[in-house]
Amino acid sequence: MSAATTAAAVRSLPERALELLRRTGNPFRNYFARNPDDEVCALYHVPELFVREREQLLGVVDLYRYTPTTHSEVVPVLGSKGSGKTHLLHSIKHGTDGAWQLLVTPGTYQRDSDFLEYLLFQLIDTLLGGGKQKNARPLDYIGEQLVRNLLRDALVQLPTADRLDLFPAPGLGRWARRLGLGGSQAQERTQWLIDTLSRPCTVPFQPGGLLRACGEAGIDTAKVVELVCARIARGEKHDAAGLMRRHILEGFARAVLLHDESELAGFLTYGFAELDFHVRPTRQDLVLALFKSIMQVLQELSIPVVVAFDQLEDLLLARRSDDGHRTAESFFAGIVQSMHHLDGICFLIFAERGLWNRFVPSLDGYIQDRLNNPIHLPNHGTLKTLRLEAPPLDLVRAIVEARLRPALEKLPDAAELSPIFPFTEEQIALVARTEPTLRDMLQQFRHQFDRVAYSAEDDKPTRRRDEVETAESTPLVENRLKDIPDLPTEVKSVVVVESPVSGSAPSDSAGVDAVSESVVPTSPGDPIALSSSWDQEVRAARRRLEPEGALTGATRELQSGLGSFLQLCHEHGVKVGPWRLHHVVGEWSFGDHPTYGALSIAHWVCKDGQPWKVGIGLFLGRGPAKPRDLGTKLAALEIEPSVVDHLILLRPEDDLSLSGKSKSLWQEAERRGRHARVEPVSLDTFAALSALPRFVLSLTEALPEGQPLPNLADLLQEKCEKLLEQVCMPVQF
């Protein structure tokens, strides 16, 4: 036996456990949830935490599942900052408790937009995006349920003679059918498929079950599409509402059966405004009509629609210069307006008690009455407001165990060790009694872990960094803190994370979207931490935008992100060469098209010259939507008095050419002396625009109470250098 093996064998269990914990890193470093989709929540979830509150919220959601047209209501979920509101929302959105629901979690609030319009496009973005809920993409889950029902009804209504045509007979089989032979097998296959489609989808849900069933029955996909579309045509009226439903249903059918999402995305963002109306509706009427059509489809499937506003204090007051009361009044009035126009929406508002008690009492009495209307919940009584309190000692202990378990269970003799090692029962009890919120407790455990785990390492000799990096047998996350020389004593809370080598499995302790940097300080304002957080949000946003129709569906959300980007550049003093921002209008709505009638306006100034009023918009329309999108944007140059001097349109880089009507519109604008240009944009850049609001929210949430955002000028200029050049005004005329 070697000397190293002998030394390892004589080390005590606590010593080996401490060394393992040091290698793994501080398990309390993630002490708050960045947003409702933060997958770190699932790593450390304790089901017993807020179990009663979760059951109550799921009970409210079930009211809309079993009675889909229940009046829209609001449930406030109040707690101090750091009480666990976002984690609770994550457990509802992604956890295994309860059935599936469409949960919309807006990452921005567009104060200057019509609230119904804002809410509609949040719903469309969630529906078409690549984000998952309970491990299922909304478009896949809803589409599968919908098309299964349509196909089942079509097969039931299909005459017996026509069922033979579903299964083409080869060779001599065609002659046998003409003689009336071979029909029983077709009937059996059809009945088997009807029975299969009548059963609920398997749990957990797996997309593609419908196509697999049709394949097993031997029905060609083209025939299935034909059957479903014929069923839709027979079942829908020919008025405006019926036409909207027909397009929506056919869009879902093509998405599920042909994996073509473009038709659904195109209709929800463009086609709904192009229907042949007898009387042209207003922009608000169009929005409401489409909203009601989508809600009706979901209600017929008994799929509840839940709109959850999280981190309300940061969502409403993202810009500290805003008038908080005016913003809050606009927000709550918009919710009440939506409740008046639409039934079947469950609004959940996760907010700090202080903000709720500061703003709500000052609102109009009618708004207060709707916000405070009690809900009668079976098995729970009357629910008016749900309050989150600090967890008791037994739950705090369970939370500590959940954080330590992934590392400690790697020890072969872990059962002999306390599940809360390296803490004592007295330390946990002291923190549970003295700290006001769950976040404060986790921060205390983070500091205590550093003191206990790393204090024994301070006096040991350190190795050179280059020796660590060239060690052949170093596995993922195996570098110790002692391997980093000359570390200041005041920066002991450090996470050491290494990227896995090619072909190696990810470490259990690395978490989700593990940071690629070698050393990540825990201070949220540190440049390395800012860069890491930015990259993580952009990766998540890119996944949401990757599906075919997601970019189109996110048009208004991306426009809002563009406005936030320009406002942040203005507030943090970002410059592009000699140009600087003098004034920004985050989002300006104009015209009669709800999707395309929006721009951000940036006033760029060069030295002492007059500012250029630059309208910057997204040009995402494709196919027949392309000229309508372009024409709507170019019309902004014609508005009097002049609002825009120059127009910049951000276009996906894979479709830059202008032809036909689009080319004619552009040439006509040039003849009229209008200044405009098209800039090619990559998916990564669109992801940055989508990620920015959530990045700012998570950064604000991580900062101590009252501390302003750090200056982000360097980060924006580093991460968005090309985008800044594209939205600036360096063109001379």
The per-residue pLDDT for range 606-643, each reduced to its tens digit, is 887 788 999 999 999 999 999 999 999 999 999 999 99
Q: Which long-range contacts (CB under 8 A, 24 or more apart) does 93-97 make?
A: 93/36, 93/37, 93/133, 93/134, 93/308, 94/37, 94/41, 94/42, 94/132, 94/133, 94/134, 94/135, 95/45, 95/54, 95/134, 96/134, 97/47, 97/54, 97/55, 97/58
**Strand extents, DSSP E, 79-208:** 102-104
Is-contact 205 141, C-beta < 8 A? Answer: yes
- Which pLDDT belongs to residue 466? 37
438 within domain boundaries: yes
543 within domain boundaries: no
417-464 pLDDT, tens per residue? 999 999 999 999 999 999 999 999 999 999 999 999 887 554 444 433
* 570, 627: one domain: yes
Give me 296's structure tokens.
């009706």
* 125, 258: one domain: no
3-state DSSP of 113-141: CCHHHHHHHHHHHHHHCCCCECCECHHHH
- Which pLDDT belongs to residue 512? 35
| pLDDT of 541 over the 80 cut | yes
| CATH number of domain containing 84 | 3.40.50
| pLDDT of 34 over the 90 cut | no
Give me 498's structure tokens.
């290494």
Distance CA 119, CA 340 (A): 14
12 within domain boundaries: no
* 568, 640: one domain: yes
372 within domain boundaries: yes
- Which pLDDT belongs to residue 94? 94
**Does 164 or 661 have the greater pLDDT score?**
661
Tell which of 299, 333, 353 closes a domain. 299
545 within domain boundaries: no
* 376, 440: one domain: no
Distance CA 601, CA 647 (A): 9
**Bridging pattern class, strands 675-681 and 646-652:** parallel
The C-alpha angle with vertex 110 and arms to 105 and 115, in degrees rounded to 5, equals 80
Radius of gyration of the chain (CA): 29
Averaged confidence pLDDT in the chain: 86
Whole-angstrom CA distances from 207 to 138, 211, 220, 350, 534 are 11, 9, 18, 31, 31
* 53, 151: one domain: no
* 142, 116: one domain: no
Domain containing 271 equals: 138-299
Residue 348 phi/psi, 5° resolution? -115, 125
* 51, 154: one domain: no
501 within domain boundaries: no
Tell which of 343, 358, 387 closes a domain. 387
733 within domain boundaries: no
Give me 461's structure tokens.
């000799």
Please count the structural domains in the chain: 4
> pLDDT class for 604, splitting at 50, 70, 90?
very high
Tell which of 387, 407, 435 closes a domain. 387
- Which pLDDT belongs to residue 160? 83
**DSSP 8-class letter at 165:** G
- Kindly state the average pLDDT of the residues 406-413: 91
Q: Percent of the chain beyond pLDDT 90?
A: 68
- Kindly state the average pLDDT of the residues 358-385: 91
* 148, 198: one domain: yes
Q: Percent of the chain beyond pLDDT 70?
A: 86
636-676 pLDDT, tens per residue? 999 999 999 999 999 999 999 999 999 999 999 999 999 99
Residue 602 phi/psi, 5° resolution? -120, 125
Is-contact 351 78, C-beta < 8 A? Answer: yes
Distance CA 344, CA 416 (A): 53
505 within domain boundaries: no
* 344, 366: one domain: yes
* 267, 323: one domain: no
- Which pLDDT belongs to residue 311? 87
Sheet holding 305-309, edge to edge: 102-104, 305-309, 345-351, 73-78, 386-387
- Which pLDDT belongs to residue 11? 78
* 230, 314: one domain: no
Output helix, strand, coil percentages for the chain, rounded to the nearest 5: 55, 10, 35
Top-ranked range on mean pLDDT: pick from 73-87, 442-456, 476-490: 73-87
* 146, 180: one domain: yes
Residue with tokens 């800044």: 724
- CA nearest to 79, candidates 308, 310, 307, 306: 310
